[in-house]
Structure 1
Amino acid sequence: MATADFEAGAWQAICEVFPHASLKGCAFHWSKAVWSHVQQLGLSTTFRQREGAHSFIKQLLALPFLPWNHVEDVFRVMEERAPATHAVRQGPVDPKSSFPHPLLDCLPVRHQNEQRRRRIAASDLERDVRRTSHLTQQKITAAADRYMAQEISSGAYLKICGSIYAAPFE
């Protein structure tokens, strides 16, 4: 298993050298990459002042909470809703740089590894989790259950996760 930040080159190199490796990114590094790009574009004030931009960016921050096989399709829908500005589509939030083609080729292997991880996790292995983390996880799990049961749309799910997880950016 390899964990990396959202550097396209690192993900591509790992896939090429270790084609059966389980690749993991983390929500922290994803959020850091998205927020850094928002700041580079000078949109942090817009994020704080305009509800539409605020909601959209929080949904971007929540993408890691989607099932792996939904990310690309949901991102494409979000991309269609995004401003047509060329600058917005460049950098860390562009799927060609954040989710490079070789990474997308690795997703089926990642899915198999995720299934294995869930089976291991189901065997009563416990870890010490702080109360706030536990409550956050409960809220995200409840939203994920509703999403997987098709009770809410991907957009509604991302809004819920964004409101739970992206709070530090407000």
Structure 2
Amino acid sequence: MPSVPEFPAPISPAPMMDRDAVSAFLDEAFPQIHHGGPGPVVESVGPMTATMRLPYHERHLRPGGTISGPAMMGLADVALYVAILAQIGPVALAVTTNLSFNFMRKPAQRDLVAEARLFKLGRSLAVGEVLIRSLDREDLVCHATGTYAIPPK
């Protein structure tokens, strides 16, 4: 099976927030993210990118033993949000305006890893994609694209 094509890395300034700063901001502004079990973890941030991990937990399962679509949707949403925050700083009111998902295959019962990449980061909109895989697996389980509105300064 052919692999996912590599896109050239966008040219952008270094992120304004590092992994620890973004994690601290999420914990402060969105403490509910960890309610009921482990929540998404910021693994890394870079220029126009972020990598998140959703620890495996039975609360994310649906009948049939697969990780639920809503769990993957939430992971993709927060991964794009983290990629944006890393670039622009702690802006709690940057909001999702569109998310689109393609579920590719059943994820394994293990942590999920989401790689977010921004294609456009303007003054009022950010557009990007997220690739989600089961930990230590090559095959995509979900591909998402999204747009966020960034509030005026």
* Fold match by TM threshold 0.5: no
Greater helix content = 1
Q: TM-score, normalised by structure 2?
A: 0.31
Instruction: Tell me: higher relative CO, structure 1 or 2? Use CA pairs within 8 A at least 6 residues apart.
Output: 1
User: Which has the greater radius of gyration?
Assistant: 1
